[in-house]
A and B are shown apart, each in its own frame.
Chain A
Amino acid sequence: MKKTTHLFLGMVLIASMVFFSCKKTHDMPPVIPSTGTLTIAQVRALYNGSNIKFTQDISLYATVTMTDGYKTLYLRDNTGAIMLRQLNAHGIYEGDSLRVNLNGSTLDMSGAQSSLQIDSVDVSSTSSNKIIKLALGASHPPIQLTIAQANASVTNTVYANGTTLPLSAYDGQLVQLNGVQFAPTATGLYIPLNTTATYITTLKIYDCGAVNSMPFSLYSGTSDFLYKYIPINNSGSIIGALTFYNGAIQITPRSYQDMMLNQPRCGVDTLTQSFAAATSAVTGSNFSATFPGWGSWTTYGSVVWAGSASVGSPPGYLSATNYNFGSPQARNEMWLVTPPIQNNNPNKKISFDMSMAFQTAAHNQQLSVLLSTNYQIDSMSKNPNLGLPNYTTSLPNANWVDITSSFSLNPSGSFVNAGVISVSSTAAQTALSGYNGTYYIAFRYRASSIADSSQTVNIRNVSIKN
């Protein structure tokens, strides 16, 4: 019995040892070992002015920061960013971590003097698909940026074959531009799907001082901006991708929700405008383009503040006059409106130089200096004569406080400074007290339709300082 037990136990133990120790690893088909890898910076550095076709398996690891929902991706790694164009539309989304096999794709420019891109990447549902998703939902916060910083980052490289490649550290990056707003002239629909709609097809965004601007890129088809109105009465941030087009860096918003213009229009802290560029070529129609942020409007008639100097011989100045506009003179009311000024200092100093000519005893003062805290640009109407919005309903509807008396208006024909006046000492003090928003300063020239209301008023060197 003991022998039986020992024999049995022995067999059990032997069987256990022999069998339990047998672990086998399953077979594996040949898998491509890790291929050569390039970073985005290294890919960019390959460009030499001519398109480069990748003909070997090279891996690029990057995260998708933005897509247009169709065939364009924006990729980022820790060395930079770049745009990628797919051959086919396919399911790649923001936050996807990818390994892109560059074999078969081309490194080229998206247009003349436009962004570098990885072009023609196969993302079809076949085995030739070159995209491998490694993970989903990767964090991809936008880079915080201002328009000025973005513009300042632009350089150009001219290659031996004459190709010019604009460069920026932010090209292809997902950024958040802060403190931006549209020009008061921006109105209408976003996406132009046909040429008969009444919309503006080119847009710029500006910083609060309207000193720096950037083109606002629109894309059709997959954009959710379709027929959305531009919130021109607001400022805020826009998240989108920066790319180059025709040498200029531009922003393409990620979505309508990423246009977070939910603050009142922002004002400048300080302002200095000499109007030296106000030659006679500057008229009402190109005024805002020449002096971003400034407005030259009419609330009656058709004459506006305009440049005065001869073309080619600045410095110029702005001039408002009713002279030689009909007999008797037509009635005109012209407004020169500053960009919005942030009321963050009750003792901001307003200063400007002015001169007058052709004033009469009956009409020796046709210039008024006004201040408004509730002036809003009416984006819905248009001035068919000038192709500009018609602000007749908004300018006069705003509450304007007349602060002319705080200044010494020079009756002579030579420019004299009208004073460096603290806003708190003007009649607008009450309106500004406790107010944290923006206000506008307007220089209104009011001309009547009777004779001798033909005074000419000239303004230059407008400044608002702390």
Chain B
Amino acid sequence: MNFKMGMQKNVKYGVFILCFLFCVINTQAQTDSTTSPASINDDEVDSLDIRSNTLPVFNATGGDVSGNVAAQVQGVNSLLGASRDLFIQSNIMHFITARFRYRGYNTNNMLVMMNGVRINSLETGVASFSAFGGMNDVIRYMDQKTGLGASRFGFGDIAGYFNLNIFASTFRKGLRITYSQGNRIFKERLTLTYSTGLTKKGWAFSVSASGRYAERGYVPGTAFQGLGLFVGADKKFSEKNTLSLVGFWAPIIQQRQSMETDEAYGLMNNFTPKYSVGQQLSNTLFGSNVSANNHYNSYWGYQNGQIRSARTSKISTPTVILTDLWKITPKSNLTASIYGSQGRNTLTYLNYYGVPNPAPDYYKYMPSYYGPTSDNANPYLYNALTQAWQTGGINPLTGLQVGQIDWDGMYRINQNNVQTVANVDGIPGKTYTGKRAAYIVEERRQDITTGGFNAIYNTELKNEIHLTGGINAAISNTRYYKVVNDLLGGDYWLDLNQLANSVSTGSNTIQNNINNPNKIIRQGDVFGYDYNINVNREELWGQVEKSFKRFDVYASATFNHTSFYRKGNMENGLFPYSSSDYGLPAGQSTSLGKSTTLNFWNYGVKAGITYKINGHNYITLNGACISKPPLPTNAFISPSSRNDVIPGMNNEQIFTGDITYNVRLSWLKGRITYYITQINNQTWLRSYFDDDYKTNINYFMTDMNQLNQGVELGLEGVINPKISILGALAYGQYLYTNRPTATISADNTAQLLESGRTVYLKNYHVGGTPELASSLGVRYNATKKWYIGAYFNYFANNYVTINPDRRTAEAVAKYISTDPQVNQILNQEKLPNAYTIDLLMGKSFQLKNKYYLSFNLMINNITNNIFKNFGEEQLRHNINIINEFPNKYSYTMGLTYQLTTSFSF
């Protein structure tokens, strides 16, 4: 009796703690002041941006938002869902709706491995989870750690590591069929996986195939098609030696979603047809054909009655890994791998020459640009554009439809644009007459070839000392170029650089390739730019662990070297020099040939100690000091036009530590962690199109520091054997901590526009993720293998990502402290706090002791609460008209569901 009373008391304590913390923190979040919205940019150059800024999850969220900084959110659901960390489980399930980023880190701080092979991109530092999309069945088994800690697979990174074990011999023997149906990114998914297990002859085979499809995703214009193919074969030669070969390929075709301003969302809201309640529910669950509410997507338009997107990505990077597992002694083993991958990623864009911008949401096509209080006030255009937006009419400035892409209009213009080109291919007198395409769809390609080797040695020594060491090397070569995807009814495209017109209209200056001037470009031809980025990386690392009665300690170190260079394959008219030319003055920009090779030597040390209070309570303390090279994607001022590198680049310096208390009791499991990470000397590069300068502007900083710190809490409290309470809380603060200096360049001139501009960035939020994310749920586990759970999730302190140039003396130079514009320019908008409610339920059956059938239903955001989950300040801003370039946002999906049925034996 006393024990029971004690138990009840402790349960009450636990529940009290959970609720107290949950409420207090969320209340604290509500007291933060809301700052005023402000404005910026347009037409940012959306390079094929593989940078991901969230934990990779192929889940229900509005993840595939194509913004320039936000980029895509991709990943693997079960990757993190398989984690035993309560905090991570909640993160995956419930936090992704709000685009939560673990500890505010970019995902290039998470090491991802497959069979011990590092798969993070050498250029972006991010693991492309789309490379194994759809392979949920084979990536269930992993070693994972979040944050700092010992790792026997690699040095790791500040966000932790995942090592996916995809050895065929480790998969459960049998067949598994999984069918999912939902209304998120894909509507249907079918996966078949068969594994032989390890046969008597020492062979193991595993194959998995999946297909995912959505004619239209949750958001209009986001169709999705994906395949996932996995083949694995292991041969166990002896108890000491196993050879494993895996190959996987996951091609994806996906249409992207745009980010829009409040004005654009509002105008398209007015275009929403009125549906009955039943139709609204149906639309919510199964989508509809009409662009409506806060999921306006400007990337698509109707062509012959069908939705066609101008922003379609294709990813295809087949990969092969050959691994030898050698158990040298019972206490030592060596894992060695060689691997290679070759594939292509593409993303389409509209391009145009000599005609108005075809982007429906171009800032000069918004009614506010001509509003009665605007500098460009024009009552006729204001009224005409407002009406056109609200009724799907014609833009009087372009003759094309507003709101969505007018494919028919572009075809019409191209087909009536007969022109004669003189001096074709630079041959005097050679002409060509045909329908010159004023609008095209271009396909920006990255042909990626990577390869490398990896070796890890583990050995158990006396006195409970464990040694791990590893060596790896990798090489990556990516060719960046673009081709014409569709001439839209035209006969040819002329390969001229319209950004060069503002410099000179000389016949050579405007050539993208002076060695093939006035080139007639047909569908599939290369044009515009063509260059390669080559990266090499080598690493040597080691770790020692020792266990004591009350302590476990570890220490590890890494030394690595990264080198990269650009090699231009086209000599353009703005920078008509090759690196192989003799007698060039020092610092002369070259577009053709090899750039300087940049070399970075880096190190990392980390150590940790775990104190075992008793069998149920542990305290862990970790610390690390790591240096990282700048990413090659951030190293060149304008890689599409020249070899110039960003001046003043340095290694990033990271100082990080965390302290964790773990508890594992029969009635309470969980952890609470405080972490702090200082990241210094980051290189930051963004590009955008400025139609005043009529060129792409590149804005970079090389000494940007930030401090991420916070508290994490993951708890599971058992009320009784059937009912448990689960809670997770992440409360962080991610702030810039210094005043970096900015440099501004333009694509059409080697002369810097600005240099040494101080950016007053200190204590601004990094933004792009809610700094507070919490989840509190109740789960009921019935005896007959069914469960149901409900979760309330709350998100707060989600700040928009800022435009650093608005935090400079130049941005406020004309104002005095009492002008209201000062706060409008400087304040950082905080998105409204929000909540969601999720339901999970499932039932499994065992049939004839052999067959397993399960049903799992996940319903996210059951109240259909659609809120802003990401916002960014545009990089372009007008110091006189503060609201000319307002913030852009993306919204969560509303009510979404996924029903998964699995059958295995």
Which A residues are closer than 8 A to B by beta carbons?
1, 4-5, 7-9, 11-12, 15-16, 18-20, 22-35, 57, 59, 90-91, 93, 96, 99, 101, 125-130, 132, 134-136
Residues in B whose Cβ lies below 8 Å from that of A128: 814
Query: CB of B362 within 8 A of chain A?
Result: no
Q: Is the CB of B809 within 8 A of A15?
A: no
Interface centre among B616, B739, B822, B828 (most CB of A within 10 A): B822
Q: Is the CB of A32 within 8 A of B376?
A: no
Q: Output the least CB separation between B531 and chain A (Å).
A: 35
18 further A-B contacts with Cβ under 8 Å, apart from A25-B763, A29-B808, are A9-B17, A16-B24, A20-B25, A22-B733, A24-B763, A26-B826, A29-B760, A29-B811, A29-B826, A31-B815, A31-B822, A32-B816, A33-B817, A34-B818, A57-B816, A125-B375, A132-B821, A134-B819
Q: How far is the CA of A26 from the CA of B710 in the complex (A)?
A: 18
Q: Output the least CB separation between B732 and chain A (Å).
A: 9
Q: Identify A31's interface contact among B616, B764, B817, CB under 8 A.
A: B817
Residues in A whose Cβ lies below 8 Å from that of B617: 4, 7
Q: Which residue of B lies closest to A23 (CB)?
A: B32
Query: CB of B807 within 8 A of chain A?
Result: yes
Q: Is the CB of A34 within 8 A of B674?
A: no
Residues in B whose Cβ lies below 8 Å from that of A18: 674
Within residues 705 to 741 of chain B, which ones have a CB less than 8 A from any CB in chain A? Answer: 709-711, 713, 731, 733, 735, 739
The 4 closest A-B pairs by CB, nearest first: A91-B375, A27-B762, A27-B760, A29-B760
Q: Which residue of A lies closest to B20 (CB)?
A: A12
Q: Is the CB of B760 within 8 A of A15?
A: no
Interface string of B604-625 (1 = CB under 8 A from A): 0000000001001100000000
Q: Output the least CB separation between A56 and chain B (Å).
A: 13
Interface centre among A12, A22, A33 (most CB of B within 10 A): A12
Query: CB of B845 within 8 A of chain A?
Result: no
Q: Is the CB of B762 within 8 A of A26?
A: yes
Interface string of B792-831 (1 = CB under 8 A from A): 0000000000000001111111111111111000101000
CB contact under 8 A between A16 and B828, given known A34-B818, A91-B375, A91-B376: no
CB contact under 8 A between A1 and B665, given known A9-B17, A34-B817, A91-B374: yes
Q: How far is the CA of A283 from the CA of B758 in the complex (A)?
A: 78
Q: How far is the CA of A376 from the CA of B808 in the complex (A)?
A: 68
Q: Is the CB of A20 within 8 A of B819?
A: no
Interface centre among A4, A7, A126, A128 (most CB of B within 10 A): A4
Within residues 515 to 531 of chain B, which ones have a CB less than 8 A from any CB in chain A? Answer: none
Residues in A whose Cβ lies below 8 Å from that of B881: 125
Sample (9) of A-B pairs whose CB atoms are under 8 Å apart: A4-B663, A15-B711, A22-B733, A26-B763, A27-B761, A29-B760, A31-B816, A132-B819, A134-B819
Residues in A whose Cβ lies below 8 Å from that of B6: 1
Q: How far is the CA of A136 from the CA of B882 in the complex (A)?
A: 14
Q: Is the CB of A134 within 8 A of B820?
A: yes
Q: Is the CB of A91 within 8 A of B816?
A: no
Q: Output the least CB separation between B544 and chain A (Å).
A: 29
Interface string of B870-884 (1 = CB under 8 A from A): 000000001111000
CB contact under 8 A between A132 and B814, given known A19-B711, A26-B826: yes
Q: Is the CB of B710 within 8 A of A19?
A: yes
Q: Is the CB of B817 within 8 A of A24?
A: no
Q: How many residues of B contact A (CB 8 A)?
A: 60
Residues in B whose Cβ lies below 8 Å from that of A27: 739, 760-764, 807
Q: Is the CB of A19 within 8 A of B762?
A: no
CB contact under 8 A between A8 and B821, given known A16-B25, A29-B758: no
Q: Is the CB of B616 within 8 A of A4?
A: yes
Q: Is the CB of B879 within 8 A of A127?
A: yes
Q: Is the CB of A8 within 8 A of B661?
A: yes
Q: Is the CB of B814 within 8 A of A101?
A: yes
Q: Is the CB of B815 within 8 A of A132?
A: yes
Q: Output the least CB separation between B331 and chain A (Å).
A: 35
CB contact under 8 A between A29 and B880, given known A1-B10, A20-B24, A91-B374: no
Q: Identify B373's interface contact among A26, A29, A59, A93, CB under 8 A.
A: A93
Q: Identify A26's interface contact among B24, B374, B663, B764, CB under 8 A.
A: B764
CB contact under 8 A between A35 and B819, given known A5-B10, A24-B763: no
Q: Which residue of B lies closest to A93 (CB)?
A: B373
Interface centre among B17, B374, B710, B828 (most CB of A within 10 A): B17
Q: Is the CB of A28 within 8 A of B880?
A: no
Query: CB of B377 within 8 A of chain A?
Result: yes
Q: Which residue of A lies closest to B377 (CB)?
A: A91
Interface string of B18-55 (1 = CB under 8 A from A): 00010011001000100000000000000000000000
Q: Is the CB of A93 within 8 A of B21?
A: no
Q: Is the CB of A127 within 8 A of B816?
A: no
Q: Output the least CB separation between A217 and chain B (Å).
A: 25
Residues in B whose Cβ lies below 8 Å from that of A19: 674, 709-711, 731, 733
Q: How far is the CA of A31 from the CA of B816 in the complex (A)?
A: 6
Q: Output the least CB separation between B728 and chain A (Å).
A: 14
CB contact under 8 A between A93 and B372, given known A19-B711, A27-B761, A30-B809: yes
Q: How far is the CA of A34 from the CA of B374 in the complex (A)?
A: 26
Query: CB of B185 within 8 A of chain A?
Result: no
Q: Output the least CB separation between A102 and chain B (Å).
A: 13
Q: Output the least CB separation between A38 and chain B (Å).
A: 14
Q: Output the least CB separation between A133 and chain B (Å).
A: 8
CB contact under 8 A between A7 and B816, given known A24-B735, A27-B760: no
Residues in A whose Cβ lies below 8 Å from that of B359: none
Residues in A whose Cβ lies below 8 Å from that of B375: 90-91, 125
Residues in A whose Cβ lies below 8 Å from that of B807: 27, 29
Q: Which residue of A lies closest to B811 (CB)?
A: A29
Q: How far is the CA of A12 from the CA of B763 in the complex (A)?
A: 25
Residues in A whose Cβ lies below 8 Å from that of B380: none
Q: How far is the CA of A127 from the CA of B733 in the complex (A)?
A: 35
Q: How far is the CA of A93 from the CA of B811 in the complex (A)?
A: 24
Q: Which residue of B lies closest to A61 (CB)?
A: B818
Q: Is the CB of B812 within 8 A of A31?
A: yes
Q: Is the CB of A125 within 8 A of B880?
A: yes
Q: Is the CB of B731 within 8 A of A4?
A: no
Query: CB of B672 within 8 A of chain A?
Result: yes
Interface centre among A7, A29, A132 (most CB of B within 10 A): A29
Q: How far is the CA of A130 from the CA of B816 in the complex (A)?
A: 12
Residues in B whose Cβ lies below 8 Å from that of A136: 373
Query: CB of B13 within 8 A of chain A?
Result: yes
Residues in A whose Cβ lies below 8 Å from that of B819: 99, 132, 134
Residues in A whose Cβ lies below 8 Å from that of B821: 132
Residues in A whose Cβ lies below 8 Å from that of B733: 19, 22, 24
Q: Output the least CB separation between A35 and chain B (Å).
A: 6
Q: Which residue of B lies closest to A57 (CB)?
A: B816
Q: Output the least CB separation between B759 and chain A (Å).
A: 8
Residues in A whose Cβ lies below 8 Å from that of B24: 16, 20
Residues in A whose Cβ lies below 8 Å from that of B880: 125-127, 129
Residues in B whose Cβ lies below 8 Å from that of A5: 10, 13-14
